[in-house]
A and B are shown apart, each in its own frame.
Chain A
């Protein structure tokens, strides 16, 4: 009510100069001062050097040797195999963590029980663990000298330096995304609509799919977007368990390391550009979907806190 009034009064009382077209304070009827410009300039410089320049550099270096070299780099067999493995990993991990997130959201968001806080902490735990350590956990379990590794290897099951290890490590680092996005949303929507559905004769699954899920769909989507970005881009945890065998256990982020270590820079950046494209799409999707879940609230801000590592 009072905000538009105030700006109207301000505009009438003090005509804005050309500087205000480029930069002006949000509130108050002040004109842009030197200090205001300094704050905005410092921010722009900081974010520019650390974020904008790197993003631009990736694409420019990827195309440095021309468009043909670019296409050759991203279509050669090892690259294709890495792209495929990355895709498969995400395709396996996403539904599993989606299912886990829905189960955790239902249990924690709709019911009261003892040990709820402990369980929530446990769900968040993978975010607190360095990805390298996350990968290491599975080496300790399934590695050649691990706890159950020797027995499994003797029976022909290979997990470390193989695809199951990659999938396990990715599941570990991405498991919290959907769950921690859904828990607050499920809690906030309460359980009255579910009670109404059941009093009208709906069964458990009918209630879940017809009433609960439509109400939290944006939260689910948000969690899935974050989970997907991280599953595609995970490096540390996967690096420890994969052995990085080109053509076999190399995902795109690992393949970039191989190319880079071979001084094949433009190919490394070509593959990087694909991942960067996913990252940019993620940022866009996150922004669009974020509007529906109310990003900017404390709950959702904490949910973004760990995406890539």
Chain B
């Protein structure tokens, strides 16, 4: 089922949580709402669910206006950040709840409920825990019970609020992969909220980057990562070096250093000049012992951390800014650099955003 929101505005007192947000989620899609806390992503999710009411704007399910439909009748499955499992019920009863509270005419029989619950328990691989209470489960197990409970009512849309937020790193990785598989199997339209860029990029079909109550960019993980539309998105997705300078005639002036832009960047700048922010990803920087003229700049190696899949090198540029570079181990061995050495840094790719002061 497709979900569409149009021009949603939501204020809490003086705080504007959403200022005119529009978004369309296609049937069967898995969409991530990515942003920092306070960006409005959870509010958007709760408005889609009907747990919150927008001040203005509309929510459409399947093209039909659902703004006035109560959360009870929206047929959404909502997985709460802290799961909100019913403490006094067993796992079985938690999952059966949505079926048991149906009006008598639509309520399945005991046997049907039991069968459905066991199917769901099998789906989330927790069949052996049916009679436990939530307090006796691990965080990851609770997460999966919450998901099974939401799926029990056969929702048309699945909404997940920070689904892995309360779990430790290793469990998070496993559940992420598991959820991806589950979605591929069920193909249920899903929206999840996260502040973790890796999670969004790895899981989602499309990522919605949010900031201060607005959507900054919507696109596939590749699009938002490789073609961020603005400085915020570039900065938010992945580590980045940021330098402030002036741009003139397709060249960036950083202190006394003048750096030539690549053809792609020159195109994006389009001959304009002014104050500019230059963004460079650490893994898209190369270190050389020889200068490449206007395409590289001089920097001094300050520290090297070779523990981990990549070698992290900290340098200081001639104009004083710190520079982070990530190299693979092979290249690092070939270079054989030491702290204190003077080297040249060459960006393979960078992004320039011009701003006025």
Taking Cβ atoms with an 8 Å cutoff, the residues of A that contact B are 192-193, 195-203, 206, 210-211, 214-215
Contacts and interface: CB of A to CB of B under 8 A. Distances in A.
A197 B97 contact: yes
A200 B93 CA distance: 13
Given A192-B80, A215-B87, A215-B88, A201 B101 contact: yes
Contacts of A198: 71-72
Nearest to A206: B101
B101 A197 contact: yes
27 contacts: A192-B82, A192-B84, A195-B71, A196-B78, A196-B80, A196-B85, A196-B149, A197-B101, A199-B49, A199-B71, A199-B76, A199-B77, A199-B78, A200-B101, A200-B149, A200-B153, A201-B72, A201-B73, A202-B72, A202-B98, A202-B101, A203-B101, A206-B101, A210-B86, A210-B97, A210-B101, A214-B86
B355 to A, nearest CB: 41
Interface in B60-86: 71-73, 76-78, 80, 82, 84-86
B86 A197 contact: yes
A201 B49 CA distance: 12
Given A192-B84, A199-B77, A200-B152, 5 more contacts: A193-B86, A196-B149, A197-B101, A198-B71, A200-B98
Given A193-B86, A211-B86, A214-B88, A199 B97 contact: no
B306 interface: no
A206 B100 CA distance: 10
Nearest to B52: A195
Contact of B80 (A195, A210, A214): A195
A37 to B, nearest CB: 43
Contacts of B85: 193, 196
A192 B150 CA distance: 14
B88 A201 contact: no
Nearest to A211: B86
Contacts of A196: 78, 80, 84-86, 149
Interface centre among A201, A210, A215 (most CB of B within 10 A): A201
| Residue among A196, A203, A214, A215 facing the most chain B CB atoms (10 A cut-off) | A196
Contact of B153 (A192, A201, A210, A214): A201
Contact of A201 (B80, B84, B102): B102
Interface string B135-160: 00000000000000110110000000
B51 interface: yes
A44 B312 CA distance: 69
A211 B134 CA distance: 14
A193 B87 CA distance: 9
A249 B102 CA distance: 50
